[in-house]
Amino acid sequence: MAVQVAIDHELVERMIHDLARYGAWGETGVVRKVYTPEWAGAQQQVMRWAEEAGLHTWQDAVGNVWARLQGREDGPSIVTGSHIDSQAPGGRFDGALGVIAGLVALRTLREQFGTPRRTLELVSFCEEESSRFPATNFWGSRAVTGLIGPEEPETLRDYDGVTIADAMRAVGLDPGRIPQAARDDIEVFIELHVEQGPILEQQGLPIAVVTGFPGIRHYLVEVRGRADHAGAMPMDLRQDPMLAAAEMISAVIARAREIGRPAVTTVGRVLVQPNFPAIIPEKVSFTIDVRHPDSARLADLCAAHEQTLRTIASRHGRATSWQITTSHPPCSSDPELVRLLVEAAAEQGIPATTMPSGAVHDAQRMAHIARVAMVFVRSVGGRSHTPAEFTTTDDAVAGIRVLAAGLRRLAY
Ligand code: HGY
Ligand code: MN
Ligand code: MN
């Protein structure tokens, strides 16, 4: 009978509650945007917990927090973790549960099994959600994988116009040191994360091992018109961008609905300028988030959406342009790691399945430098990216037991 990993249920529950205090939003939500005081407080809390667990901690040049359990042997590290920033507002589990899980797993392994053969590390990535800066997309894990361009710190601006370089300086970080955050000594990255969808709940299972990640593309579309009086300007003389924009938005969403799973298309942000009831808009801008696990199908879906934008723009005679602000290909988990985690769940007596992720994750960035896999934990009601997000502590503990058992197989 395999050794059962025992996880302290109360400790997990307390850590989830305590971390959610940093950027608390209403009863159950959080708003924790990168390089804000609540973000800094949460990262310091992670460092304190790691030090209490006897781990060596440091913060890298972009603000990722690391904790290390040194192995007896030299060689590349086996890393677990997730992100500490949140959507605005988001839930208290997205990202945070993966950081807590990694902390508790390393603390438990050290207490129950002593010094590992291989070095184990936890990472709390500084920024995955792009909830403050529209186009950082995976700032923390892109820094670790050396994928931040030299021009980005002084050009990426948040929704209030602050550059990410200035935001870093405001919390004592030097954007000039970003290249020092790159790592080339990580062999494995395993991330625990809430599923953020309804599949595990529909299957009545607490855990899944993730087999792959979707490709994603974000568009920012601008439809231009002319501001005029909402009452005095006759309908037949207007240059109103709203009609074309509304048609475009409904057309791209309708297409994804028609294609069906696993294609998805979301218009989550619409900006009307100048945005007053009695003014015909000058400009309507909106985002389109397009995802598909197959790169060819993603490309086809994006091409069809772009053609729709062109057709509707010309039918209405509205000047329309767009920029692609995020573009990442799909990627697969390492099959060996998937097998190892499925076996770890079985050895711990925890029912689990395998499934593709609908969300994108830091693990996809880490696949540039390491073998990756993820452990999903059931989301109650399939809810996420909302304060309504919830995962039971029992399911969280089950996920941490699978994570710890998997890390034990790799590192002891
Ligand atoms: O959008 C995503 O999939 C991630 O949660 N940021
Ligand atoms: Mn996340
Ligand atoms: Mn998220």
Domains (ranges, CATH) in the chain? 9-214+330-411 (3.40.630.10), 215-328 (3.30.70.360)
User: From the DSSP assignment, how many helices (H) and strands (E) are in the chain?
Assistant: 12, 20
Q: Ligand 1, residues 361, 364, 374: which to mutate, most atoms within 8 A of Cβ? A: 361
Comparing C-alpha atoms, which of 258, 357, 237 is closest to residue 305? Answer: 258
With a 6 A CB cut-off, is 148 part of the ligand 1 pocket? Answer: no
- pLDDT at residue 245 greater than cutoff 70: yes
With a 6 A CB cut-off, is 129 part of the ligand 1 pocket? Answer: yes
With a 6 A CB cut-off, is 363 part of the ligand 1 pocket? Answer: no
- pLDDT at residue 379 greater than cutoff 90: yes
Cα first-last separation, the chain: 17
- pLDDT at residue 380 greater than cutoff 90: yes
Atom of ligand 1 lying closest to residue 128 CA: 6
What average pLDDT does this structure show over 43-48? 98
* Ion ligand 3, residues whose Cβ is below 5 A away: 94
If you measure from the C-alpha of residue 218 to the centroid of ligand 3, how many angstroms do you get, rounded to a whole number?
Answer: 15
Return the pLDDT at 98.
98
What average pLDDT does this structure show over 48-63? 98
What average pLDDT does this structure show over 177-196? 98
With a 6 A CB cut-off, is 360 part of the ligand 1 pocket? Answer: yes
If you measure from the C-alpha of residue 138 to the centroid of ligand 3, how many angstroms do you get, rounded to a whole number?
Answer: 11
- pLDDT at residue 1 greater than cutoff 70: no
Mean pLDDT computed over every residue of the chain: 97
Comparing C-alpha atoms, which of 143, 140, 124, 127 is closest to residue 183? Answer: 143
Q: Facing residues of 7 across strands?
A: none
Strand segments, DSSP code E, in 34-93 are 56-59, 65-69, 77-83, 90-91
With a 6 A CB cut-off, is 207 part of the ligand 1 pocket? Answer: no
Closest protein CA for atom 3 of ligand 1: 359
Closest protein CA for atom 5 of ligand 1: 359
What average pLDDT does this structure show over 94-105? 98
Atom of ligand 1 lying closest to residue 196 CA: 5
Structure tokens at 198: 């309804």
Structure tokens at 410: 């790799």
Give per-residue pLDDT as tens, 108-155. Answer: 999 999 999 999 999 999 999 999 999 888 999 999 999 999 999 999
If you measure from the C-alpha of residue 191 to the centroid of ligand 2, how many angstroms do you get, rounded to a whole number?
Answer: 10
Q: What whole-number distance in Å separates Cα of residue 376 and Cα of residue 387? A: 19
Q: What whole-number distance in Å separates Cα of residue 321 and Cα of residue 30? A: 34
Return the pLDDT at 24.
98
With a 6 A CB cut-off, is 359 part of the ligand 1 pocket? Answer: yes
Return the pLDDT at 135.
84
Atom of ligand 1 lying closest to residue 360 CA: 3
What average pLDDT does this structure show over 258-279? 98
